[in-house]
Chains A and B, each alone.
Chain A
Amino acid sequence: MTEIVITGIGATTPLGGDMASTWAGMVAGTSGVHAITEEWAADLPVKIAAHVKVDPSELIDRVKARRLDRSTQLALIAAQQAWTDAGFDWEAGEGVDPHRLSVSVASGIGGLHSLLNNWDAQRDKGYRRVSPFTIPMLMANAPAANVGLAIHAKAGVHTPVSACASSNEAISLGLDLLRLGRADVAVVGGTEATIHPLPLAAFGQMQALSRRNDEPERASRPWDADRDGFVMGEGSAILVIESLEHARARGAKIYGTIAGAGITADSYDMVQPDPSGEGQSHAMQKALQDAGLSASDIRHVNAHGTSTPAGDMTEAHSIRTALGKAADNVVVTSTKSMTGHLLGGAGALETLATLMALRERIVPPTINLEHPEAGLDVDVAANVARPLPEGDLAALNNSFGFGGHNVAIAITNANATF
């Protein structure tokens, strides 16, 4: 099968304004979670979140920003980095034959700030105060469409939506498009910007968010016995992917390979994971099969690991089920312990973290893992980064979403010969 390689990376996250600073923060075990200081959080049960380290207003022209939801602004920042990193020209908005260039950029929720701010304006001051840009700002495909406009992508612009699995699904779609020969280059990833009173209240009402308001940096603690929910984060991560042949022909630098993807649905419950972990473990096994890898090739898993009481242990069990005895040689981590949960941006960010782990041969820690939950049957890189061995390496990145969506992405290092 056609080998699909990663040739450009970009991110803006709670740990840094690009992937290099984000990665440095991850390896150092830095938390990006802070108290929300705005007045609106005072009455909420949840007063912590992981905002992007570099506010988009520092990078995007004010007039342009008026027409772009925050989620789209973050996606454009990450996409510009990735596109430039891949050796293409962002300002000229070109570099690849437009008819052979595709975009697949996800958002789990869409332009939430635009939707709610305009409703506030309408309710308080009347319909004339609703911005005529509201619809193109709030629609879930706005980030993908704006990235497509910037780089002149004409081979299809897509927005897979599967809650917190969305951006892994976007990567999977891009992989399929390239393998099917429908594009030569795909820009894939995800974005989210939902730190606003409504989602904090709504996820809070589900009892899904940590309420460790007095210790923000210790709130996201996957697999720890004292975990009490996830921390909402925001940000975007984008990858440029293309066939190995295409990358070589243009002399591109190659970060690694998207070796395969596996997608399943639990069909069990809208928001609770199937406790048997069947759907999750099947997604991992399908990713291995798609990649032509065996369980013993896998040395690292970047877990979904959100720090919720139910989800973390189900996933650990699923990893054990999917990989069997080979799981003994796998270092598992959850970078959400540091970044919080980027929802529709999580899969792409963690796919990049997985890629960096293989390149740098180091697994970032799962911070705040002070008292591992009884029965934790996988080897988690608790609190300190863990080295990976020399030689070819393969890894998995898991993302799961409300609705029962499970998406696993398999990554290998550049020039691997499995």
Chain B
Amino acid sequence: MATTEEIRAQLAELVNDVAGVPVDDVQLDKSFVDDLDVDSLAMVEILVGCEEKFGVTIPDEESKNLKTVGDAVAYIEAHS
């Protein structure tokens, strides 16, 4: 089982790959939209990337609840 920090670091790489956000900026308390300037279409790509990377399923209706990096990491920890 990966640690919270390991999941955060892998997610940060994904966010960097899709949206060009520096990996060090992708911290648990950051909002994807308000802090990291990730737009809605990039967010879809990031969540699909999470499904691939962490072997989780993130239904479309769930994705709107994942507002911060911490929300996404917690979801992945709970469902992987």
Q: Which residues of A contact B (CB under 8 A)?
A: 61-64, 66, 128-129, 131-133
B48, CB-defined interface residue at 8 Å: yes
Q: What are the residues of chain A within 8 A of B18 when measuring CB–CB?
A: 63, 66
Within the complex, the shortest CB–CB distance from A138 to chain B, in Å, comes to 14
Closest 8 CB pairs of A and B: A63-B20, A132-B44, A132-B41, A128-B48, A133-B41, A132-B45, A131-B45, A63-B19
- Given contacts A61-B20, A63-B20, A66-B18, are A128 and B41 in contact (CB under 8 A)? no
Q: Which residues of B1-58 are within 8 A (CB) of A?
A: 17-20, 41-42, 44-45, 48, 51
Query: In the complex, are the beta carbons of B45 and A128 less than 8 A apart?
Result: no
15 additional A-B residue pairs with CB within 8 Å, beyond A62-B20, A63-B17, A66-B18: A61-B20, A63-B18, A63-B19, A63-B20, A64-B20, A128-B48, A128-B51, A129-B48, A131-B45, A132-B41, A132-B42, A132-B44, A132-B45, A133-B41, A133-B45
List the B residue with the shortest CB-CB distance to A128: B48
Q: What are the residues of chain A within 8 A of B20 when measuring CB–CB?
A: 61-64
Q: How far is the CA of A129 from the CA of B20 in the complex (A)?
A: 20
Q: Is the interface of B mostly helix, strand, loop or mixed?
A: helix
Q: Which residues of B contact A (CB under 8 A)?
A: 17-20, 41-42, 44-45, 48, 51
Q: What are the residues of chain A within 8 A of B42 when measuring CB–CB?
A: 132
Within the complex, the shortest CB–CB distance from A412 to chain B, in Å, comes to 46
List the A residue with the shortest CB-CB distance to B16: A63
List the B residue with the shortest CB-CB distance to A134: B41
Q: How far is the CA of A19 from the CA of B12 in the complex (A)?
A: 41
Q: How far is the CA of A128 from the CA of B50 in the complex (A)?
A: 12
Q: What are the residues of chain A within 8 A of B51 when measuring CB–CB?
A: 128
List the A residue with the shortest CB-CB distance to B19: A63
Q: What would be 9 A-B contacts, judged by CB atoms less than 8 Å apart?
A: A63-B18, A63-B19, A64-B20, A128-B48, A131-B45, A132-B41, A132-B42, A133-B41, A133-B45
Q: What are the residues of chain A within 8 A of B48 when measuring CB–CB?
A: 128-129
Q: What are the residues of chain B within 8 A of A133 when measuring CB–CB?
A: 41, 45
Within the complex, the shortest CB–CB distance from B28 to chain A, in Å, comes to 23
Q: What are the residues of chain B within 8 A of A63 when measuring CB–CB?
A: 17-20
Within the complex, the shortest CB–CB distance from A208 to chain B, in Å, comes to 37
Q: How far is the CA of A61 from the CA of B19 in the complex (A)?
A: 11
Within the complex, the shortest CB–CB distance from B29 to chain A, in Å, comes to 23
Within the complex, the shortest CB–CB distance from A146 to chain B, in Å, comes to 15
Within the complex, the shortest CB–CB distance from A8 to chain B, in Å, comes to 29
Q: How far is the CA of A129 from the CA of B45 in the complex (A)?
A: 8
Q: What are the residues of chain B within 8 A of A128 when measuring CB–CB?
A: 48, 51
Within the complex, the shortest CB–CB distance from B3 to chain A, in Å, comes to 27
Q: What are the residues of chain A within 8 A of B41 when measuring CB–CB?
A: 132-133
Q: How far is the CA of A62 from the CA of B51 in the complex (A)?
A: 22
Q: How far is the CA of A132 from the CA of B17 in the complex (A)?
A: 15
Q: What are the residues of chain B within 8 A of A131 when measuring CB–CB?
A: 45
Q: How far is the CA of A128 from the CA of B42 in the complex (A)?
A: 13
Q: How far is the CA of A131 from the CA of B45 in the complex (A)?
A: 7
List the B residue with the shortest CB-CB distance to A136: B41
Q: What are the residues of chain B within 8 A of A64 when measuring CB–CB?
A: 20
Within the complex, the shortest CB–CB distance from A68 to chain B, in Å, comes to 13
List the B residue with the shortest CB-CB distance to A129: B48
Q: What are the residues of chain B within 8 A of A61 when measuring CB–CB?
A: 20
List the B residue with the shortest CB-CB distance to A63: B20
Q: What are the residues of chain B within 8 A of A66 when measuring CB–CB?
A: 18
Q: How far is the CA of A129 from the CA of B52 in the complex (A)?
A: 9
Within the complex, the shortest CB–CB distance from A137 to chain B, in Å, comes to 11
Q: How far is the CA of A62 from the CA of B18 in the complex (A)?
A: 9
Q: What are the residues of chain A within 8 A of B19 when measuring CB–CB?
A: 63
Q: How far is the CA of A113 from the CA of B41 in the complex (A)?
A: 19
Q: How far is the CA of A131 from the CA of B46 in the complex (A)?
A: 10
Q: What are the residues of chain B within 8 A of A62 when measuring CB–CB?
A: 20
